[in-house]
């Protein structure tokens, strides 16, 4: 019984699908990323986010990541060019590796700029490195036609689908909490801010609309990957994808994310349909390097085993890692210990305010810190609600005041945080010298307990 299941699974995963699907996905994804880099550059964000700040907040375990300073422009340039090569399928494996490394490097520079969709992009790029995405519609194939293969094993596109499915499902699961479902928070705060939109704006004043959006959002996230998989529901599901993401892009400043999600959903289309379209294009653009025969891409046995093990480990981590918050005491939304990298998107309204005081350990003299002297406004905003930022900032202050001649600077913070419309309250123990606390992958004892309870996942 078990064995037949294994054989069936294996056969299913190895079934041929048309490589055009993965190639089109590669092209779209690469172009989007290339466009994203250009957009970032033109808006002056490289300077604003990576050159201007005096300090950067690093991720736990990634303190060693070097900051290229003014060469950050070069880093973005290489990232953009590799995305372009990636899109065209030129020197595919090399450009995929470089794109993954440069993109991830940029994300690791400052966690102030953490966005779930950047993390998503890094993960997809990691998968793409190992997939034969240049087996069709690629310049590599134009240069070396034997590379072109019309078919690839199902698990290749399947792994991208699975990744997207995890993103949606986990985002949906994260919405199954009392604030989201029973209080319509935070949409109840966010929607009225958009009530000046033409035609539909007045609706955002209504509480029931916030409830409707919350519930629709949760059900959408939890179900849409399944409806996309099922042939009969797929067209409707894709319409829902477009409507949902266009609506979020109109309501919230979330940049390219909605469009990346809409176009990524193309991977759920039947590969035969995509192939048909590609072949029609070939009629108009005869030079298009389209795989014609009936060849199937096959991995060398050793490489196949390696990739299978790698992907298995990858997806186990993906499935387990978002649950790490269960190991930490305290309310997740309050402590945010285990909040990132878990597909918790647009889930809470959290605002904070932090006043630091540095005390000379020898003289007892105290200095009130003006955060703007050290941090950008964006960094300050992030710092004021998240414990790992609060701690790292305390260490930045300690180092700074040590250099200016203070003996054993002690750093104390008065932090108030408001969560999902509840009254703000003291976040951290004001009597703890934060400069003496260590950042660790465990609970921070100096965070004050959250009195209210948010039920659910």
Partner 1 sequence: MKKWILITMLPAILMVAAVGCKKENDNSNDNNNSSFDRGAMLANYADNYVIPAYADMTGKLSTLKTKTDAFIAAPDESKLAETRAAWKAAYLTWQETDLLEFGPEASISLRNYINTYPVTVSKVNGNIAAGSYDLEQFGNKDAQGFPALDYLLTGIATSDAAIVSFYTTDAQAANRKLYLQAIVNKMVAKVGAVQTAWTTYRSTFVANTATDAGSSLSLMTNAFVLYYERYLRSGKIGLPAGAMTGVAAGELTEAYYTPTLSKELAQAALNSVGKFYNGFGYSNNLDGIGFHDYMKAIGTKDDNGKLMADVINTELDEAKNSLGGLTATIRDGVTTQRTEVLNIYQQLQEVVPLFKVDMVSAFGISITYTDNDGD
The residues that touch partner 1, with contacts defined as CB under 8 A, are: 43, 45, 48-49, 113-117, 181-184, 186, 188-190, 192-196, 202, 205-208, 211, 215, 219, 223, 226, 230, 252-257, 339-340, 344-353, 355, 357, 364-368, 377-378, 381, 416-418, 421-424, 451-452
Least distance from partner 1 to the Cβ atom of residue 367, Å: 7
Q: Which is nearer to partner 1, 9 or 205 (CB)?
A: 205
Q: How far is the CB of 354 from partner 1 (least distance, A)?
A: 10
The least CB distance from residue 353 to partner 1, in Å, is 5
For residues 279 and 350, which CB has a smaller minimum distance to partner 1 in the complex? 350
Residue 288 Cβ vs partner 1, minimum distance, rounded to whole Å = 35
Question: Nearer Cβ to partner 1, position 27 or 227?
Answer: 227
Closest approach of partner 1 to the CB of residue 360, in Å: 11
Nearer to partner 1, 19 or 335 (CB): 335
Q: What is the nearest approach in angstroms of partner 1 to the Cβ of residue 93?
A: 30
Q: Which is nearer to partner 1, 49 or 152 (CB)?
A: 49
Query: Other C-beta atoms within 10 Å of 316: how many?
Result: 10
Half-sphere exposure of 148 (CA within 13 A, CB side): 18
Q: What is the Cα Rg of the chain in Å?
A: 25
What would the two tokens of residue 56 be? 């950067």
Nearer to partner 1, 129 or 209 (CB): 209
- Asked if 298 and 291 count as a contact pair (C-beta separation under 8 A), the reply is no
Closest contact distance (angstroms) between CB of 268 and partner 1 is 14
Question: Among residues 442, 451, 168, which one has the least CA distance to residue 324?
Answer: 442
Q: C-beta of 269: minimal distance to partner 1 in Å?
A: 18
C-alpha dist (Å) from residue 8 to 11, 13, 116, 157, 308:
5, 8, 35, 18, 16
- Euclidean distance between CA atoms 210 and 342, whole angstroms: 24
Tokens 């029973």 appear where?
182
Residue 140 CA, distance from chain mean position: 30
Which CB, 74 or 207, lies closer to partner 1?
A: 207
The position carrying tokens 């959290």 is 350
Looking at the Cβ atoms of 182 and 272, the one nearer to partner 1 is: 182
**Distance between CA atoms of 203 and 199, rounded to whole angstroms?**
9
For the chain, counts of helices (H) and of strands (E): 18, 6
Task: Please report how close the Cβ of residue 306 comes to partner 1 at its closest, in angstroms.
Answer: 32
CA distances in angstroms from 300 to 9, 186, 297, 308, listed in the order given: 20, 51, 10, 12
Q: Which long-range contacts (CB under 8 A, 24 or more apart) does 325-334 make?
A: 328/442, 328/443, 329/443, 330/443, 330/447, 330/449, 330/450, 331/450, 331/452, 331/453, 331/454, 333/179, 333/419, 333/420, 333/450, 333/454, 334/417, 334/419, 334/427, 334/447, 334/450
Least distance (Å) between residue 121 CB and partner 1: 13
**Closest CB to partner 1 among 295 and 408?**
408
Cα separation values, 28 from 61, 89, 233, 259, 455, Å: 32, 11, 24, 11, 40
Nearer to partner 1, 160 or 345 (CB): 345
Question: In this structure, what are the phi and psi dihedrals at residue 427, rounded to the nearest 5 degrees?
Answer: -100, -40
């Amino acid at each position: 019984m078990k064995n037949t299941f294994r054989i069936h699974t294996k056969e299913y995963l190895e079934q041929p699908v048309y490589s055009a699907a993965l190639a089109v996905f590669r092209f779209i994804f690469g172009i989007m990323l290339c466009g994203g880099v250009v957009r970032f550059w033109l808006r002056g964000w490289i300077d604003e986010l990576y050159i201007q700040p005096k300090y950067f907040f690093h991720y736990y375990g990634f303190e060693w990541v070097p900051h290229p300073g003014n060469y950050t422009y070069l880093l973005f340039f290489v990232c953009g060019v590799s995305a372009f090569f990636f899109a065209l399928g030129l020197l595919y494996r090399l450009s995929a590796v470089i794109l993954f490394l440069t993109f991830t490097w940029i994300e690791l520079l400052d966690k102030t700029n953490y966005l779930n969709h950047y993390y998503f992009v890094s993960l997809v790029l990691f998968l793409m490195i190992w997939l034969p995405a240049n087996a069709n519609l690629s310049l590599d194939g134009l240069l070396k036609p034997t590379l072109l293969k019309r078919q690839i094993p199902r698990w290749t596109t399947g792994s991208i689908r699975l990744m997207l499915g995890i993103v949606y499902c986990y985002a949906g699961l994260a919405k199954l909490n009392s604030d989201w479902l029973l209080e319509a928070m935070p949409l109840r705060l966010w929607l009225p801010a958009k009530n000046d939109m033409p035609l539909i704006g007045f609706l955002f004043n209504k509480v029931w609309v916030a409830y409707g959006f919350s519930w629709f959002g949760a059900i959408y996230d939890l179900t849409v990957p399944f409806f996309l998989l099922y042939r009969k529901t797929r067209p409707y599901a894709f319409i829902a994808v477009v409507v949902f993401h266009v609506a979020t892009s109109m309501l919230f400043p979330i940049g390219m994310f909605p469009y990346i999600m809409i176009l990524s959903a193309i991977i759920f289309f039947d590969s035969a349909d995509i192939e048909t379209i590609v072949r029609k294009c070939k009629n108009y653009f005869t030079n298009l390097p389209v795989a014609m025969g009936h060849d199937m891409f096959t991995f060398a046995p050793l490489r196949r085993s390696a990739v299978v093990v790698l992907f298995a480990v990858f997806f186990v981590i993906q499935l387990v890692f978002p649950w790490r918050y269960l190991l930490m005491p305290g309310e997740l939304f309050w402590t945010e210990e285990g909040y990132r990298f878990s597909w918790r998107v647009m889930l809470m309204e959290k605002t904070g305010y932090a006043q630091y005081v540095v005390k000379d350990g020898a003289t007892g003299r105290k200095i009130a810190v003006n955060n703007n002297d050290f941090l950008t406004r964006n960094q300050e905003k992030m710092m004021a609600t998240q414990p790992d930022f609060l701690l790292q900032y305390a260490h930045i202050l300690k180092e700074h005041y040590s250099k200016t001649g203070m003996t054993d600077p002690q750093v104390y913070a008065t932090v108030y945080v408001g969560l999902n419309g509840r009254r703000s309250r003291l976040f951290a123990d004001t009597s703890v010298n934060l400069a003496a606390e260590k950042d660790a992958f465990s609970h921070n004892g100096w965070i004050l307990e959250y009195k209210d309870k948010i039920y659910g996942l």
